[in-house]
């Protein structure tokens, strides 16, 4: 009897010990210290970044590393706080899309001091050497695609051209505009387009390549700050000021989907605008529906799944002590940051189903009126 009790209690101790072992090993599958990879995204208010969160979560489902995603809600102060929180959780790699590319330098410098590897995600952090890698889409190609779409769909001469841009605190806004200007400028110079809403762009219309300062001047007049409301107000002001010669069939360079939809709504409600071609980017669901409905002409599809795979690929290489593969570099004002770049796809009514539904990116039942 006593022997049985002894065996049972020994067995219980063994079970307890094994349980403790299992608990230890499951908490160490991520990082010895807690979270291995910290991810900081700019805002939940734009579907673009919620899409990135979703794709990160899908990709991380089976990862052996622990990760945490935090949003900065459009505030550089909140972003700094997020980075500090993740540093305190013991991250080894930080993946971050800055709210403001220059302001984020301080946050990543404090991460770097702790020996954390910093990956700039989609937007480049500028003027600091505390960025190790940059994963990005080809942003100049995004702007070129938008400009080219307007050119391909312009009829005749003297087509009024309305220009809009992203936030000047985002390096990408310059890259998009640079790409668009590269293809549009010769067509402005040859009289296909006439600029409707920017005296700065008008005075630079014979300059093929704009300096950063010149672009800043134009952006100063036509920025949307990536804010659909600001875009709407600007478009309303521009159309109110425009004479009859700047209406009729018009072309609109809108920098992304959120701003494109609100700008498109304003142009659609002006009776003197008989037709408009308007660009976008991100393939946000609401804009895909706008494209299907003929309310937004195109969007540039940036497959976030690829960006997530690239960012996590670099992070895992770093965690495993390997050297990540890169395809080029970007000058951030302080250093050439090793970069991995992804191509983009132009989507309009003709290929929307093929590129976004048949490819498995979205489901058909998320939209109405899709044609076979
Ligand atoms: C991104 C775009 C996005 C924009 C506004 C840019 O940096 O590349 O995809 O639409 O920010 O959030």
Which ligand 1 atom is nearest residue 176's CA?
A: 8
- Among residues 248, 291, 46, the alpha carbon closest in space to that of 162 is found at 248
Kindly state whether residues 310 and 282 are assigned to the same domain: no
How do residues 159-203 score in pLDDT, each as one tens digit? Answer: 999 999 999 999 999 999 999 999 999 999 999 999 999 999 999
CA–CA dist 338, 350 (Å, integer): 36
- Number of folded domains in the chain? 2
Looking up residue 127, the CATH number of its domain turns out to be 3.40.50.2300
For the record, the structure tokens of 102 come out as 């220059």
Q: Whose CA is nearest to atom 12 of ligand 1?
A: 226
Q: Which uninterrupted H or E stretch holds 94?
A: strand 93-96
Secondary structure string (H, E, C) spanning 103-158: CCHHHHHHHHHCCCEEEEECCCCCCCCCCCEEEEECHHHHHHHHHHHHHHCCCCCC
- Per the structure, the complete domain to which residue 249 belongs is given by 139-302+347-366
Which ligand 1 atom is nearest residue 302's CA?
A: 9
pLDDT of residue 9: 53
Q: Whose CA is nearest to atom 5 of ligand 1?
A: 226
Residues with CB under 6 A from ligand 1: 46, 48, 122-123, 166, 170, 172, 226, 256, 281-282
Q: Distance, CA 149 to ligand 1 centroid (Å)?
A: 19
- Write down the H helix ranges in the chain: 2-28, 47-60, 76-88, 105-113, 139-152, 171-189, 199-203, 212-222, 228-241, 257-268, 285-292, 304-319, 352
The residues, any chain, with a CB within 8 Å of residue 67's CB and separated by 6 or more, are: 35, 36, 37, 38, 39, 56, 60
Residue 314: inside a domain, yes or no? yes
Kindly state whether residues 208 and 295 are assigned to the same domain: yes
> b/e per residue, 196-206, with b = 16+ CB within 10 A?
bbbebbeebee
Kindly state whether residues 229 and 313 are assigned to the same domain: no
Residue 312: inside a domain, yes or no? yes
C-alpha distances (whole Å) from 163 to each of 38, 176, 193, 245 are 37, 12, 11, 16
CA–CA dist 205, 53 (Å, integer): 40
Q: Distance, CA 11 to ligand 1 centroid (Å)?
A: 59
Q: Distance, CA 256 to ligand 1 centroid (Å)?
A: 7
Residue 231: inside a domain, yes or no? yes
Kindly state whether residues 171 and 68 are assigned to the same domain: no
Residue 16: inside a domain, yes or no? no
Kindly state whether residues 99 and 146 are assigned to the same domain: no
Q: Whose CA is nearest to atom 10 of ligand 1?
A: 256
Which ligand 1 atom is nearest residue 139's CA?
A: 8
Which ligand 1 atom is nearest residue 123's CA?
A: 7
Q: Distance, CA 341 to ligand 1 centroid (Å)?
A: 15
The segments of the chain whose pLDDT lies below 50 read 1-5, 7-8, 11-33
Parallel, antiparallel or unpaired: strands 133-137 and 117-121: parallel
Q: Distance, CA 352 to ligand 1 centroid (Å)?
A: 20
| DSSP code at position 165 | B
Q: Distance, CA 3 to ligand 1 centroid (Å)?
A: 71
Kindly state whether residues 161 and 246 are assigned to the same domain: yes
Kindly state whether residues 274 and 154 are assigned to the same domain: yes
pLDDT of residue 304: 96
Kindly state whether residues 205 and 295 are assigned to the same domain: yes
Kindly state whether residues 99 and 209 are assigned to the same domain: no
Kindly state whether residues 88 and 169 are assigned to the same domain: no
């Amino acid at each position: 009897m006593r022997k049985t009790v002894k065996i049972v209690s020994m067995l219980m101790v063994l079970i307890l010990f094994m349980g403790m072992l299992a608990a230890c090993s499951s908490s160490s599958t991520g990082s010895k210290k807690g979270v291995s990879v910290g991810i900081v995204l700019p805002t939940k208010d734009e579907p673009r970044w919620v899409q990135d969160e979703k794709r990160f979560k899908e990709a991380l489902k089976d990862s052996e590393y622990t990760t945490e995603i935090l949003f900065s809600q459009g505030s550089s102060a909140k972003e700094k706080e997020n980075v500090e929180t993740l540093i305190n959780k013991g991250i080894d790699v930080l993946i971050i899309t800055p709210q403001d590319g220059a302001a984020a330098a301080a946050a990543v410098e404090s991460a770097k001091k702790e020996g954390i590897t910093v990956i700039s995600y989609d937007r480049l952090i500028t003027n600091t050497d505390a960025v190790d890698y940059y994963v990005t889409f080809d942003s100049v190609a995004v702007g070129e695609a938008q400009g080219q779409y307007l050119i391909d769909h312009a009829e005749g001469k003297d087509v009024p051209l309305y220009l809009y841009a992203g936030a000047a605190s985002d390096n990408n806004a310059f890259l998009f505009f640079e790409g668009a200007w590269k293809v549009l400028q010769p067509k402005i110079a040859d009289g296909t387009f006439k600029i409707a809403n920017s005296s700065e762009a008008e005075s630079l219309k014979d300059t093929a390549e704009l300096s950063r300062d010149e672009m800043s001047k134009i952006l100063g007049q036509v920025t949307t700050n990536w804010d659909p409301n600001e875009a709407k107000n600007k478009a309303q002001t521009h159309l109110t000021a425009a004479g009859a010669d700047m209406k009729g069939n018009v072309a609109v360079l809108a920098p992304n989907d959120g701003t494109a939809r609100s700008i498109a709504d304003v142009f659609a409600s002006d009776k003197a605008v008989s037709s408009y071609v308007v660009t976008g980017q991100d393939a946000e669901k609401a804009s895909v529906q706008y494209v299907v409905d003929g309310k937004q002409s195109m969007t540039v599809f940036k497959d976030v799944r690829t960006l997530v795979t690239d960012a996590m690929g670099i992070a895992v290489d770093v965690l495993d002590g390997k050297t990540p593969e890169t395809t080029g570099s970007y000058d951030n004002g302080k250093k050439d940051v090793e970069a991995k770049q992804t191509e983009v796809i132009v989507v309009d009514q003709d290929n929307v189903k093929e590129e976004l539904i048949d490819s498995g990116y979205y489901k058909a039942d998320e939209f109405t009126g899709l044609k076979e």
